[in-house]
Amino acid sequence: MVRDALGVGVAVGLSGFAFGVTSAGGGLGIWQTCALSLLVFTGASQFALVGALAAGGNPLTAAAGAFFLGVRNAFYGLRLSQLLALPRAIRPFAAHWVIDETTAVTLAQPGRRSARLGFAVTGLSLYLLWNLTTWLGAAGAEALGDTAAWGLDAAGPAVFLALLAPMLRTATERAVAALAVVLGLGLLPVLPTGVPVLAAALAAPAVLLLKGAGPRKSVRGDKDKRDRQAEQAAREQREAGEKEDR
Amino acid sequence: MNIWIAIAVTAAGCYLVKLAGLLVPAGVLERPLVQRLAALLPVALLAALTAQQTFAAGQSLTLDARVAGVAAAGVALLCRAPFLLVVAAAVLVTAGVRALGG
């Protein structure tokens, strides 16, 4: 667990630095960059926001793209609230730390006590590290001068690609990604800056819809419903078994 | 000022979705369709963002040193390189190609 925690720490520290550099290179001030890491504290959304602002996007369109990337945290919170069973008064404070990394560490813990400890320790240490390295990156970027000459404008898309790669497990995810690339690039010249990314988000429901209307159509109905219920039951059983194993 | 507005709106929005997950009753977010969409939404957004930040120059598309850098990151990912190396590959290759006049 210590090695995992160290690995997570190094990755987060590095992306914090990359974020600080990218944000400052994109024209945000050092205070604005630090405010983002302090108040938003969810990496992909922050990168998306500064990228959209640097491209000259409308602030609300830019914020919308960042917001949609942050929606996944609600689903992390759902898993965590069952596991941590936090008192209602604590939840508004714990919420700020509900991100990819804290969820991964917390879900890997064997019981409620260690889950709470894992969440608190990961949350606090990553929060400190993320904000420290953001500041270092933003301050460093000012010292570097022209960030493009150093190739730092490639850090943002590389971070996105690294986040995306492990998600491309099945044909569905790959189809969504491919359609999103086509929409995002194809609409870029015709729609206002920032809007094409939001339009590309439609690739997700579009592919789900096409899949639903595809070869599975013939098995729709009661049988399909029963299958799904059986699947759900099997999954719940497996998960329960896993919990006992731990 | 515009930037501060964007920061405030993003901070509020991102905090509220995090809080929603902790407060909302489990049943609402546990419907299979909602879960599928939530898993696919970041895939679509990240793919579009990667492509745009690699090929966009303002409102038009262009091929420059970033393409080589992001391609290097892709190769590093295929080789299962750690995060650090992936980003470093992108930055170094982009800087190298630019230094060579690309």
Buried b / exposed e over B27-57, threshold 16 CB at 10 Å, is: eebeeeeeebbbbbbbbbbbbbbbbbbbbbe
3-state secondary structure of B30: coil
Nearest residue to B6 via CA among A153, A161, A194: A194
CA distance from start to end of chain B: 36
Tens digits of residue pLDDT in A117-152:
989 998 999 999 999 999 999 999 888 877 778 888
Three-class SS of A129-185? HHHHHHHHHHHHHHHHCCHHHHCHHHHHHHHHHHHHHHHCCCHHHHHHHHHHHHHHH
Closest chain A residue to the Cα of B70, Cα to Cα: A158
Interchain proximity B21–A228, CB inside 8 Å: no
Check if B75 contacts A (Cβ < 8 Å).
Answer: no
Structure confidence at residue A215 (pLDDT): 55
Interchain proximity B48–A180, CB inside 8 Å: yes
In angstroms, the separation between the Cα of residue A192 and the nearest Cα of chain B is 8
The whole-model pTM stands at: 0.77
d(C-alpha B72, C-alpha B97), whole Å: 12
Check if B25 contacts A (Cβ < 8 Å).
Answer: no
Residues of chain A with C-beta less than 8 angstroms from the C-beta of B83: 10-11, 14-15, 162
Tens digits of residue pLDDT in A146-175:
777 888 888 889 988 988 998 899 999 999
On the question of pLDDT at A231 being above 80, the answer is: no
On the question of pLDDT at A54 being above 70, the answer is: yes
Structure confidence at residue B77 (pLDDT): 94
Closest chain B residue to the Cα of A196, Cα to Cα: B48
In angstroms, the separation between the Cα of residue B84 and the nearest Cα of chain A is 6
Structure confidence at residue A244 (pLDDT): 45
In angstroms, the separation between the Cα of residue A238 and the nearest Cα of chain B is 17
In angstroms, the separation between the Cα of residue B66 and the nearest Cα of chain A is 5
Nearest residue to B87 via CA among B50, B56, B62: B50
Q: Which of B39, B46, B82 sits opposite A164 (nearest CB)?
A: B46
Instruction: Please list the residues that pair with B61 across neighbouring strands.
Output: B56
d(C-alpha A177, C-alpha B91), whole Å: 23
d(C-alpha A109, C-alpha A102), whole Å: 11
Structure confidence at residue A217 (pLDDT): 41
Q: What is the ipTM of this complex?
A: 0.89
